[in-house]
Structure 1
């Protein structure tokens, strides 16, 4: 049997420090996440962050003196988060969590079609654990697609029908799909298949799969570092995939055609997000494989190739765009829950214009971060 490796070569093993994080309390130390604060203004965006070393989904307003608004219990080792019109969907190790955002409570934990066996202790947490990984919701809100990993079996993209309240179909995809993307036009979902160097494009109507190998440095197998991790859909409908802070591949999901944009960040690439102006923001985690640089955030214009690189103190896992009002400049938000050593309990905000960096403590290893509206209770 093959030994499964992620970013690091080696055998299957849990990520470091996969212990359940305690909920914030009045007795929490000054270095821990602060107590939940007052509600934001109605219909104002907030950040939602999966706390991968716990069972929680954090609700955060990074502009408040006490940013943490609440923590909702969703299920063990949450990974991906998606939201649509007052409902959040969280891919956990044990099922798909459905969260009523107005009530701030989980209303269901739906088992996967390919439900993994229960995992206890360290094996139940971290990037190697079985269960849900990437997640996306269709633009119309009718379907939620979850990537389900169950080693050594193949991975599946499972489709949850919101009206039926159940998973209704699945498709075989690549190995350990860290991320799931949804076509803005509503025709497909796509998985970013970390250990098979591929993107699997799955038709919503048929669940037919087109697999595209994306390996700008070659397929180096399980022991390689030059793998895809996360993707972002660009304004022209392509899928952007950064590698090693050295190149971003732009994939046309309809044809499989690719273009390359050279990068200078020179830092092992994890999360990526597309900003309103088309800038691609990538989290660089440091020197791994062919990447030789330090942790940083890359701000890349894929049209011109212009890039600004901002050094960071910590590696990060995913990226979101924070723009609480439409007429204010956007800011990049990076989740500190890097899947390997070096993660930190917090979010980092980076101003693309000035390079200014601001950190927001958040206990529980915040991994996947998104911005969405929090309805009034």
Structure 2
């Protein structure tokens, strides 16, 4: 079997899909994207295609090594995301050719169901309690929310009281048996992260996610030592080398993104590294159906997988949602906040290519907001 073509599709709401064709008629699908930079990633995929055309798609690891290390300049979100989507598609091809789901190729399933969580509220959270109750009614038993909107490096008691009040309202709405994860989105300083986590301890969050930006990775040890709240991070770390320092820092949950951190091949290795430190895996995935399917394949083959993010109904998905590009949407049916192990070959999904092509005609140019503080200075989004 030989690779004959790579084709990318920019589709709403903010996704980039990749189809890798073969001379035996098998197409593998991947999702290589940096949200807000999809055209740049598509250009990187096109450049990498020069190496892949005519190659054997079965040689996934060798291709991964060449694509990530064969150039003098390495790493970073654009290249890692381009490789991630290619890697997903190659695993999809191999699974389809052999008639098995990818998790069987990774050693077989270690669980029958995977717990998931859903988002509530938005970038600047409001009506959190109401939205949390809606998610419980939909069958979820875990939710994630942004803890704050834009914040300063050090904040007033009033702002901290609002943070705790929002989380307390959700806790009251969903009870003690359901879980709340709180995303700080890298918006807070290390000092503010330590103070906020201490105040949140009585509400028992499942974890606090990305309290600081990845440039401040060296501060995770102090944050983790200052609180009993489990700390999660990793959506903006792109390789096992990026994870080395944070895994030693005391974090509880590693969150590599299957569309950013080198795909199935690299996230599998990150998960194994995390297990050696007693750290759980919770793949980051506010993206589309291919990234979600790839995440599930990792989850079902990974002993330390904890919980899986789903973008279904997330505030970014205004015009198109997780199920819109699938032929059979039942593969992502949720029951009691869990999703059953997919048994279809490859990534376990069938992409509706006609729907993808229609959406790609319109395309998308999603950009994240640029926030400013009251004094006009730039704020972390």
Tell me the TM-score normalized by structure 2.
0.29
Larger radius of gyration: 2
Compare the two structures and name the one with the higher strand fraction: 1
Q: Which has the higher contact order (CA 8 A, sep 6+)?
A: 2
